[in-house]
Amino acid sequence: MALSELYSDRILEIAGNAVQPGRLPDPAASARKVSRVCGSMIEVDITLSDGVITAYGHEVSACALGQTSAAIVAKAIVGTSVAEFTEVSRRMLAMLRDNGAPPEGKWSDLGFLQPAREFPARHASTMLVFDAVIEAIEKLESDQHLASKV
């Protein structure tokens, strides 16, 4: 597959019509990730309540793959438990690296990114939003852990 074939009409449509949620005014945690390979960048904000993501915002400057994965996450993440999001992130990585099945249900649009598995240099930008959200969750969990020890 040629690199130009990676950018299907559906990927370009999702990326081109992505709603930009913007940043949250008072997030519980934030994280910034940059792909060293292509320079794609995302900053995410989240709030959690009882292990469920209750608000999400982001600012993204990325290639079409990074924009597509960020758009799909932005559309589906609110109301998702930390455990479910962690599993979706794990499945995305397995889809790209190990020919695993794509996520299902409300995450099924992530399957449009399957062709990226043939381009390992594009995995980082495709996973950028997942890495950032997981980092923000870990920051919150670490803060909560430290607060419980005080």
In CATH, what number is assigned to the domain containing residue 18?
3.90.1010.10
Average predicted confidence (pLDDT) for the chain: 91
Q: Over 80: is that where the pLDDT of 69 sits?
A: yes
**Average pLDDT, integer, range 18-26:** 90
Q: Give the number of domains in the chain.
A: 1
Q: Which residue has the tokens 């934030």?
A: 30
Give residue-wise pLDDT tens across range 92-124.
Answer: 999 999 999 999 999 999 999 999 999 999 999
Give the separation between CA 110 and CA 131, rounded to whole angstroms.
15
Residue bearing the bigger pLDDT, 17 or 43: 43
| Strand 29-34 with 41-49, pairing | antiparallel
Enclosing domain of residue 132: 3-148
* pLDDT interval class at 33 (50, 70, 90): very high
The pLDDT assigned to 43 comes to: 97
Burial of 16: CB neighbours in 10 Å, binned 0-12, 13-18, 19+ = exposed
**Percent of the chain predicted with pLDDT > 70:** 91
Q: Over 70: is that where the pLDDT of 136 sits?
A: yes
